[in-house]
Chain A
Amino acid sequence: MANLTVPAAVPSTQRSRLSRLGGGGWRRSRTSYLLILPYLVFLMIFGIGPAIYAVLLSFAKFEGGVPTFFTAGIDNYVTAFTDSRFPQTMSNLFEFLIVSVPLGIALVVLLAILLDMRPGRFSSLLRLLYFIPGAVTGPALMLLAICILNPDISPFGPIFQAMGMDNFDSVVGGGTLPFIFTIIGFFAGAGMWIAIQHGGLQGVSQEVLEASELDGCNAWQKARYIKLPFLKPFIIYQVILIFAGNVQLFVEPQMLTGTYVQGNISPQWAPNQLAYSFAFELGNFGAAAALSLLMLAIGLVAAYVLIRWTGFFQIEN
């Protein structure tokens, strides 16, 4: 399994020298703690603190939107999981994950590698163009979604119509939704990940690439045997975050559920929307916390599997 300090790109002579030296002087913890201390403070205040509080909230009873702790037992969990909308949100989420995660990862890696095969102005320009959509948010993004997904007025109208979808409801409704959200999500998020993979690829050693050329490798073989393995930790990171992030799908379905601009879609399509509804419409932050913890658990399980399987957290071998 790959681990981080001995990337395949480093020639074997260097590798053995490194492993002999491996980590000797760094057993001194003091400097480590010093360098990491500010981060730990923030981690506690804005990360773990609220997380613990959220767990407490899930066991609290809410009155007037205000919690009384430890009085609810598992009521909030029952409320959240027996809500009639819950099963449908989970099944929607499942469909969405199956479509969005593999496609998202595969396409990002493909595009990053393709771009990297010929570094230069054209690639840089494309990387920029792929990224810009990620900067569109708020009302502008909503306006885009409304108009681009409406076959009557969209530049992609002919494509929708060729697929038999000739009004907004047929594009945004029922079985198309996992794909629509994938399309919007990819539009907004892929560029950033492509840029990250590009950054990762900068670490591939020039010597190794030149050596492989002398050995007769073409661009595709270089990609497959050198670049892709080198990207592995970045790809794993991406898989974990995309998976966990997609579990928390919220923005895209919420945008298309306005009483105004609205597709044929339930107002609580994704589990995170249901959590939001518990929190901000009913004032039941406890049930929202319960649902959120479930989403956290799903993301963590996937992360754990990946991390153990790939040794993502190991340093030296």
Chain B
Amino acid sequence: MKRALILLAAVVLAGCSGSTATTGPAVTTAPVATTATGATTAPAATTAAATAAIAGDATAPITVWVDDPRQPAIAAYIKAHPDKASLIKSVTVDREQFPAKVLLFNNTKSGWPDVVFAEPRLVARVADAAHNFPLDLTGLVPADMLANYAGEDNCTFNGKVYCLRNDLAQFVTYYNKPLMDKFGYAVPTTFEELQALSDKVAAEHPGYLLGTFGDGWSFLSFFEASGCPTHVVVDTSTLKIDMTDPTCVRAAKLVDHMIANKTLWNSDYFDASFAKQVNDNKLLVLPMASWGWGLFGGTKDSTWYKTADHQLGVAATLKWKDDAKTNAPALGGAAWTVSSHTKNPALAVDLIEWVTQNPDFWAGSTNFPSYKPLMTGFQKAVAGNALFANDPYPAMAAAASEITPLDNWPRFDLIVPLSNVVKDAAKNKVTIEASLSKVQDAFKPLAEAEGYNVVNK
């Protein structure tokens, strides 16, 4: 008898493909003068002009697929636009299943949702020929408005804009300020300094940690930061993997060094054993995503710090000393996408613009917003938080415009294969440097199944 199949399909994380924002410095230097109302009226003016130009049936209803936390956003949109209320239907779904459902709808030629709250890596999956789902937003969203979204490169596939970013997950460097001060250590700014610090810690305070390395996410955190070409999406049918590149080797050497001197823990970020280390105050430094502060004590779900106050320092993202610019890895972040089959693109586009730009939902969020005018709101929200030892905003804002282009995901999952490479290396007591070729071995069949031609140069 068949047991009911549980579709807990790969609980893949939001791997937002990061990208460099087109207007970098404006985010931090020029204080954005828009007030709350300013932020909403300005886009509305341009939207009105834009929607007039979008073809489609303005009276057709749309279905919006969101997760539960996003329902209030839709409700608020309806409240602000009562004339559209009857046209919008929102449904709560599990977004991991959305690519599978698109395939079913392609067969019945109907039933597609019009707007989906998803993640850029999921959008990557439905952007292929088999799914053929997203609508190209170029031209539907005015170019200057698009430019105001940081990280929008991850939503751009082959020149087409398939989604609108909701929030970012850029890496910054967290550290335990009281402990670093007590031990007399300076916060590292480069990976070379991190390595030197690891030697000091191993000698003077063994048992203290400077991070963790045990799964695909932590792998990417080091290797993307180095610019290692583990999965460069050249175009829709070409993927470049070159694990022999010096950027890969240097990251591997660093990781091996820190594993050897025991300053790197050996699990993923959420493993119980790692949480215990943090709870026991053994963590000195941790490169992690901009929403990571929520884990440290900012919300009800916090698992790491027992008491919050003024312990968590936030510093700039680590880079390699001689690199021209920082490659900030990203771990997560969400995005809204519109169906190419929608009958009412004007309403769909207006909706996603509104929910990503409206400041009211962003108050109190631990997520760093993608829409630049909202970033000061985030700044205000974190400024007063007793968790922080310093102002986290500058580091996060800088990193927002430094997200590595490597954060553009291909159409297959990267994390599970990478995790297996890492775990095999640990189990067989082999160095990461010696395991680099296994990454190619793991990715190649998955890439080819998805229609990529794998190249090395």
Do A and B pair up? The answer is yes
- Residues of A near B130 (CB, < 8 A) are 62-65, 282-284
Contact with A along B398-429 (1 / 0, CB 8 A): 00000000000000110111011001101100
Task: Name B99's contact: one of A255, A258, A280 (CB within 8 Å).
Answer: A280
Q: Kindly state whether residue B2 has any CB partner on chain A within 8 Å.
A: yes
Q: How large is the interface on A (under 10, 10 to 19, 20 to 34, 35 or more residues)?
A: 35 or more
- Within the complex, the shortest CB–CB distance from A47 to chain B, in Å, comes to 12
CA distance A101 to B300 in the complex (A): 45
- Please determine whether B129 and A63 come into contact, CB atoms closer than 8 angstroms: yes
> Which one, A21-29, A31-39, A262-270, is touching chain B?
A262-270
Interface status of B30 (Cβ within 8 A of chain A) = no
**Contact indicator A64/B132 (Cβ below 8 Å):** yes
| Complexed CA–CA distance, A280 and B126 (Å) | 11
Cβ of A191 within 8 Å of any chain B Cβ, yes or no, is no
Contact between B427 and A64, CB atoms less than 8 A apart: no
Binding-face segment, A11-19, A123-131, A246-254: A246-254
Contact A264 B420 (CB under 8 A): yes
Nearest chain B CB to A78 CB, angstrom units = 13
If A65-B130, A138-B6 touch, does A265 touch B420 (CB 8 Å cutoff)? yes
Residues of B near A153 (CB, < 8 A) are: 272
Chain B residues lying within 8 Å of A142, measured Cβ to Cβ, are 6, 8
Q: Which residues of A contact B129 (CB under 8 A)?
A: 63-64
Q: How far is the CB of B446 from chain A (nearest CB, A)?
A: 9
- Please tell me if B449 contacts chain A, counting CB pairs below 8 Å: yes
Is A174's CB within 8 Å of the partner chain B?
yes
| Chain A residues positioned under 8 Å from B271 (CB to CB) | 168
Q: B8 to chain A: which residues have CB within 8 Å?
A: 139, 142, 254-255, 258
Q: Indicate if the CB atoms of B99 and A188 lie closer than 8 Å.
A: no
Known A-B contacts A153-B272, A167-B273, A248-B2; A65 and B450 likewise in contact (beta carbons under 8 Å): no
Q: Which of A83, A167, A251, A266 contacts B420 (CB 8 A)?
A: A266
In the assembled complex, 12 residue pairs joining A and B whose CB atoms fall closer than 8 Å, in A order, are: A64-B130, A64-B131, A137-B4, A167-B273, A173-B427, A250-B5, A251-B3, A260-B11, A266-B416, A266-B420, A280-B103, A283-B130
- Which residues of B are at the interface with A, using a C-beta cutoff of 8 A? 1-13, 99-100, 102-103, 106-107, 125, 129-132, 215-216, 267, 270-273, 412-413, 415-417, 419-420, 423-424, 426-427, 445, 449-450
Residues on A close to B: CB < 8 A? Answer: 62-67, 83-85, 137-139, 141-142, 150, 152-153, 167-170, 173-174, 188-189, 241, 245, 248, 250-251, 254-255, 257-262, 264-267, 279-285
